Amino acid sequence: MDLQLQDQHVLITGGSKGIGLACALGFLREGARVSLVSRDLSNLQRGQQSLVEAFAQAEGRVSLHAADLKDPLGAVAALDAAEQAFGPVDVLVNSAGAARRTTPAELTAASWHEAMDAKYFTYIHMLHPVVQRMGERGSGAIVNVIGKGGKVASPVHMAGGAANAALMLVSAGMAAAYAAKGVRVNAVNPGLTLTERLQEGMKADAKLAGIGTDEALKRATAGLPLGRIATPDEIANMVVFLASAKASYVTGAIVAMDGAVTPMI
């Protein structure tokens, strides 16, 4: 299937590893040019190398931009640099930032602020200028990779879940606000996914339940209707589709990707 992404410029925040890096590989395989944004340049360079090793045609089609997206000026500077390298952004994928999982007893006022800074504002600081520029040009697609924690409250993910819920509202609101200007905005909510963050979540769950991390992972996997944890590539496949012309009438959608662990409408 031709997703009509050839030579489109895709900017991915949090693109140095995990789901963001898997998205980068998916877009590159469709012929897109990809700008990766992350805080650490060395992580970006390792990510770029892994992309070239997995897909030789990625050579010369990836640009790297180190920025702390908690800083709105840093986000705009990274966006400007990316557009100078590859032209206007056709697709934005937000996958940066992760709120620390914390047991209820350990939550502080600072925890709530840190969660919003880490997850909500890292998305908003890139989303806001990009959607405005797309609206001025009359086209564009945005996919926010958020997380099911914004739909279902977890005792160890309340602060991060609140940030996720806010991002879902923003995604739906931006979709309505910018539809007439040719911009589509959608969101994907992964459940457990085989990334580096998985271990952090299992540690918090284990601490709350008074069990070992391996046992926490075993129990979590046993509770999945599909019987296994998702891979980053599986999440990326949905992101690439939603960003493509094949999803031209899909906007304002919040797609659950937790393997039916939370059966809800």
Mean pLDDT lowest among 23-27, 106-110, 205-209: 205-209
Which residues have C-beta within 8 Å of that of residue 90, sequence separation ≥ 6?
8, 9, 10, 139, 140, 141
Query: Of all residues in the chain, what percent carry a pLDDT higher than 70?
Result: 96
In this predicted model, what pLDDT tens digit does every residue of 151-195 receive, in sequence order? 888 888 899 999 999 999 999 999 999 999 999 999 999 988 877
* Residue entry with tokens 């009509």: 4
pLDDT of residue 195: 79
- Write down the pLDDT at residue 83: 98
pLDDT score, position 149:
85
- Sign, Cα dihedral of 50, 16, 24, 195: positive
Q: What are phi and psi of 234, to 5 degrees?
A: -65, -40
Domains, the chain, in order of start with CATH, read 9-194+230-257 (3.40.50.720)
DSSP code for 21: H
The tens digit of pLDDT for each residue in 48-78 reads 999 999 999 999 999 999 999 999 999 999 9
Predicted pLDDT at 200: 66
Structure confidence at residue 243 (pLDDT) = 98
Q: What is the pLDDT of residue 94?
A: 98
204, pLDDT greater than 80: no
Length of the chain measured in residues:
265
Cα–Cα distance, 83 to 65 (Å, whole number): 11
pLDDT of the residue at 205: 67
At residue 8, the pLDDT reads 98
13 band by pLDDT with thresholds 50, 70 and 90: very high
Please report, rounded to a whole number, the percentage of residues in the chain having pLDDT higher than 90.
73
At position 243, the amino acid (one-letter code) is A
Q: Are 222 and 155 in contact (CB under 8 A)?
A: no
At residue 264, the 3 state secondary structure works out as: coil
